[in-house]
Amino acid sequence: MSKKHETPVMVTRSSLPPLEEYVEMLKPIWESAWLTNMGEYHEELKRQLKRFLKATDLELFVNGHMALELALQAMNLEGEVITTPFTFASTTHAIVRNGLTPVFCDINDRDYTMDAEKIEDLITEKTCAIVPVHVYGNICDVDRIHEIAQKHGLKVIYDAAHAFGEELDGTGVGQFGDASMFSFHATKVFHSIEGGAVVFQDEGLKELLYQLKNFGITGYESVEYVGANGKMNEFQAAMGLCNLRHIEGEIEKRSRLARRYRERLSGVPGIRLCEENPRVKYNYAYMPVVFDGYGADRDQIFEALKERNIFARKYFYPCVNSYQCYREQFRAEDTPVAARIASQVLTLPLYADLPLEVADEICDLILVQGNGRNA
């Protein structure tokens, strides 16, 4: 087995364009001194992302959290929102910060997205919306969720932070529901250092989202909404434009690593990988592995990798309904599948520049720990 890595191998690493390419993009910013407030790069990135994401319309934001929070505000919702506890903090925080009450729906144990067959049991007269999450880039059961939402008159806002560029049967993932939020955080498949977007179909949201991200300003002398400063600046937009030029190659590199992990770990007793949906064009954002009845548990695998300076991630652990800030309001035992998966799942290092031999080393360590087969 190999020795401890001198440089840590992290679970993810930001993809960057050639430095010279980004520096060249900065020159017009210096010349114009237009650094923020919806400049030329901001508008060009919007145009290019609409094409790439096959989106009806799109608005950019300073980060994904602000995008989701303001998308919810734009819907003018009141009451309860059905969502998942198996997600990052931002999803639930955006709901709560809008004065809405999250109602947690359990997940399925196939792809860890919201179990659509459990949604209707949670609907009350107070329910106003559903906020599902395309976890790890696994696309939710959008057809069933749409059917339920139509039946009960509910809005659907997807957290698509993990699903940039993905498609279902050739349709951009942002086209499902009333709106979808994308995160362009530095750790994502596509990034603008920090950043985010909302994809939407309702023309009426276009002006409102623009106004909400600009303090609610509606004219030179009028402020009609309690908005926020959610504007993406020109340096972020420039990074986004650079990275968009290279995104297809980055995803292809990720796919090779994902295939290697699958070749090495598929069929090993006690190890479960998500089944790939042939209808989906994936971005290979994450490599989740569930250890269920394996020779070593999740935490033991995590520590064994850590000893070699390899850092996987317990993602998502704990579930949101176990957070200290929500513990008095919710019970993790009400969503038992999410609680179980959270205690068993580990996302393995996956980024474009990760060498295949390091992926092999990670698999070797996992297999030796569990005595699953000879590494």
In 10 A of CB 259, how many CB atoms? 13
198 & 77 share domain: yes
Residue after which a domain boundary falls, among 214, 241, 268: 241
- Among residues 31, 48, 4, the alpha carbon closest in space to that of 237 is found at 48
Look at residue 354 and give its three-state secondary structure: coil
Sheet containing 271-273, strands listed edge to edge, beginning at the edge strand earlier in sequence: 271-273, 288-291, 345-347
261 & 356 share domain: yes
Has residue 58 been placed in a domain? Answer: yes
| DSSP secondary structure code for residue 203 in this structure | T
**d(C-alpha 60, C-alpha 171), whole Å:** 21
198 & 255 share domain: no
Q: Looking at residue 279, which CATH number applies to its domain?
A: 3.90.1150.10
Residue after which a domain boundary falls, among 191, 225, 241: 241
- Among residues 74, 131, 190, the alpha carbon closest in space to that of 320 is found at 131
202 & 298 share domain: no
Q: Looking at residue 78, which CATH number applies to its domain?
A: 3.40.640.10
Residue 160 belongs to domain spanning: 19-241
71 & 219 share domain: yes
CB 368 within 8 A of CB 31: no
* Average pLDDT of the segment spanning 72-81: 98
Query: What is the total count of domains within the chain?
Result: 2
Has residue 282 been placed in a domain? Answer: yes
- Among residues 329, 347, 345, 327, the alpha carbon closest in space to that of 337 is found at 345
Find all residues with CB under 8 Å of 102, minimum gap 6, and list them. 80, 81, 83, 92, 95, 96, 320, 330
303-342 per-position pLDDT tens digit: 999 999 999 999 999 999 999 999 899 999 999 999 999 9
**d(C-alpha 192, C-alpha 204), whole Å:** 27
Has residue 1 been placed in a domain? Answer: no
Find all residues with CB under 8 Å of 272, minimum gap 6, and list them. 289, 290, 291, 292
136-182 per-position pLDDT tens digit: 999 999 999 999 999 999 999 999 999 999 999 999 999 999 999 99
DSSP string for 118-153? GTGGG--TTEEEEE-B-GGGPPP-HHHHHHHHHHHT
Has residue 98 been placed in a domain? Answer: yes
How many helices (H) and strands (E) the chain has is answered by: 10, 15
97 & 199 share domain: yes
Has residue 5 been placed in a domain? Answer: no
232 & 263 share domain: no
Has residue 13 been placed in a domain? Answer: no
205-241 per-position pLDDT tens digit: 999 999 999 999 999 999 999 999 999 999 999 999 9
273 & 148 share domain: no
In 10 A of CB 226, how many CB atoms? 9
Has residue 315 been placed in a domain? Answer: yes
Tell me the pTM: 0.97
32 & 87 share domain: yes
Find all residues with CB under 8 Å of 153, minimum gap 6, and list them. none
Supply 367's token pair: 């297999």
231-283 per-position pLDDT tens digit: 999 999 999 999 999 999 999 999 999 999 999 999 999 999 998 999 999 99
